[in-house]
Amino acid sequence: MKTVIINLLGVEGAGKTTVSKYLQAILPSYFDVVLPISWADALRLEIMLTGDCPTTTLRIVGELMKTPIVKIMSGVRQKLLDLGSLRRAEDPDYWIHAFKFQLESCQSFVKKCKSDIKIAIIVDDTRFMNEQLFLDHRTTYGCEVWDFLLFRNSVDEYLEAGRKYELVEIIGHLRARGELFDIRNPHLTHGNKPGLSAAEDVIKILHEQTNLIKPISHEMH
């Protein structure tokens, strides 16, 4: 079994989610299993399982009838961030434990189905150094981890914004190790398909650096 983790780094608005979705569409041509795993998956599950979830859901649906979607999603996102900060204050490795459980569960389940199998896991929300350090110990879990920094115009203009979390520290850490690939992700590429060329660049680098991926095709253009 071979597991590859594609770690997409970048500040808010860098296009990580969009690139992740394109990779989820492209990578099944090269891997048996493609799975997005988020550090925040446990947070979303916790919110779903809370006692007031039905009330929260109804309130959000009601607000959607009269409030712009951007404003609603902004409020929901802030609530997620607040709860995430609370859990992190209680245990800095709270999300790491949950991520590790997901990773090991996926590997265990897939291995039972087929021993000679290739798994691609996409992570697009690494924001803290302890999360990156966990990924650095990839050999413990039989994984290869490839780190990509997504940016719109230049890397430098995003470094200041990256101080909101620990992105600058993560970038410096990975550059010192020589393990970071820069991927420019402009807003408009391939006509109305922003994010596609960045996803293709990720595939190209994986092809050049590993034996897991054949040369990229252009069937999505």
Q: Which two tokens stand for residue 152?
A: 């719109």
**What is the reported pLDDT for 126?**
92
Fold (CATH) for 2-39+93-209: Rossmann fold (3.40.50)
Mean pLDDT of the chain: 78
Q: Which two tokens stand for residue 130?
A: 């302890």
Task: Kindly report, residue by residue over 88-121, the tens digit of the pLDDT.
Answer: 788 888 888 888 888 888 878 777 776 678 889 9
Q: What is the mean pLDDT of residues 65-89?
A: 63
Instruction: Answer for the pair 149, 114: CB distance below 8 angstroms, yes or no.
Output: no
Strand arrangement of the beta sheet that strand 33-36 belongs to:
33-36, 118-123, 2-9, 143-151, 180-184
Q: What is the mean pLDDT of residues 77-91?
A: 76
